[in-house]
Structure 1
Amino acid sequence: MRFFALLLTASLSLAATPLLAQEPARPQPSRPSQSRPAPRANTLDSLFERLAKAGSEREADGIASLIERRLSRSGSDTADLLLSRVTKALEDKDYPLCVELLDRILALEPQWAEAWYRRALVFTMLDDPVAALADLRQAVKLEPRHFGAWTALGHLFMASDDKRQALAAYRRVLALNPQVPAIQTLVSHLGVDVEGQDL
């Protein structure tokens, strides 16, 4: 469970990170019609597109971090405040309180994939893989591109020696973010175990 402890700490600490300040819109001077179009905004969809095409691990890490920040915003001030309290409860190792707070968040925002993912990670800390698996499945149902949830699913399947499902989950991660060496290695080794051939 050491990996899950690290994954949980890294994931939940995002909630405590200040959100990136948004620059106010600057008035643009009138330009002739042949001027360059304005750059496209970094929507979540465009970030996932960029992540899939990233040319290096460093570039992918930066894009993945932006995606994680976007996913960690619910759109509800109350839910976001509760998530910051989850971070404090986690620091205090009060995992039952984490679950209680995440239950409240999910009552407010049941369509928020990130909250399901965070609660799943807390369930791993409580050694409850059944509950964790259910929450991770809900997370990827709501946001099929949630690479953190697919990674955690892969690890849960590996822990239960279900190599075929672990391989499928890890391949989903690489489809979203090909620049993850640890997952590349796992897929390579599992491919041999499950399919009997080197990928």
Structure 2
Amino acid sequence: MAAPRPLRSLALAALAALLSTTAQARPAPGAAAPQKAQAPVTLDELYARLKAAEDDAEAKGIAKLIERRQDRSGSATVDLLTERARQAMSGGDLPLAIELMDRATTLEPDWSEGWNRRASVFWRLQDHASAIADLKRTLVLEPRHFEAWAALGRIYQSMDDKPRALEAFRRAAALYPRMDNLQSAINRIAPDVDGRDL
């Protein structure tokens, strides 16, 4: 027995509404599927992209991303101490900058960038031995810290220790081949260390 006409019309209207809603929810043919949220890029991926970068602008952008990650100490107190140390350095108060970075590295001894920053202050104070010690500590904590390798190279170069300078510059170049002035520094030192072609 057929359903009464008003009931059948109501059922057909409900079915049409349901089909219309389903069609709207489904993407049109050829339309891009909705994108899933992407996982954050890891440091390992950033270092791989830095090494493979095909132009200077791309490499600099990736290097900045890496440096931003390294800048995170994980502690608001340490970040404040580090910012105050930066201000003290800018104002020429290097002893205060050292004191502040001493506190930062005491609070967060596993933060590689803290040691790298303290090394920069020691370098400004012409304390090469302390700067080298802090850079080596940086590199124990993060062996891919290309800025620390480059800084180590510059310090050894200033001490006329060309073999160590060349090794440090080459380690930096292996991580960041397009780093500013790095290849020219290697080209200047390499003949004295490796020997000149006859």
Shorter-chain TM-score bucket reads 0.7 to 0.9
CA RMSD of aligned residues (A): 2.0
1:169-188 to structure 2, matched below 5 A, reads 169-188=168-187
Q: Indicate the residue corresponding to 1:120 in structure 2.
A: 119
Unaligned runs of 5+ in 2: 1-24, 28-32
**Partners of 1:46 and 1:160 in 2: how far apart?**
35
Stretch deviating more after TM superposition (176-185 or 63-72)? 176-185
Q: How has the CA–CA distance of structure 1 residues 192 and 102 changed in structure 2, closer, same or farther, with 3 Å as cutoff?
A: same
Q: How has the CA–CA distance of structure 1 residues 36 and 92 changed in structure 2, closer, same or farther, with 3 Å as cutoff?
A: closer
**Partners of 1:53 and 1:148 in 2: how far apart?**
18
Q: Indicate the residue corresponding to 1:63 in structure 2.
A: 62
**Partners of 1:176 and 1:40 in 2: how far apart?**
24
Q: How has the CA–CA distance of structure 1 residues 30 and 157 changed in structure 2, closer, same or farther, with 3 Å as cutoff?
A: farther
**Partners of 1:93 and 1:79 in 2: how far apart?**
21
- Which structure is richer in relative contact order (CA contacts within 8 A, separation 6 or more)? 1
Q: Indicate the residue corresponding to 1:167 in structure 2.
A: 166
Q: Indicate the residue corresponding to 1:20 in structure 2.
A: none
- 1:111 counterpart letter in structure 2: D
**Partners of 1:152 and 1:192 in 2: how far apart?**
21
Instruction: Check if 1:148 corresponds to 2:147.
Output: yes
Q: How many residues align?
A: 168
Q: Indicate the residue corresponding to 1:76 in structure 2.
A: 75
Q: Secondary structure at the match of 2:181?
A: helix
Report the CA distance between 1:196 and its aligned residue.
1.2
List 4+ stretches of structure 1 deviating above 3 A. Answer: 34-40
TM-score, normalising length: structure 2 = 0.79
Report the CA distance between 1:38 and its aligned residue.
5.0
**Partners of 1:188 and 1:35 in 2: how far apart?**
50
**Partners of 2:91 and 2:26 in 1: how far apart?**
55
Q: Percent identity?
A: 47
**Partners of 1:91 and 1:30 in 2: how far apart?**
58
Instruction: Check if 1:105 corresponds to 2:104.
Output: yes
TM-score, normalising length: structure 1 = 0.78
Deviations for 1:55-112, whole angstroms, at most 9, x for unmatched residues?
1111111111111111011111111111111121122111101000000001100111
Pick the structure with greater CA Rg. Answer: 2
Q: Indicate the residue corresponding to 2:48 in structure 1.
A: 49
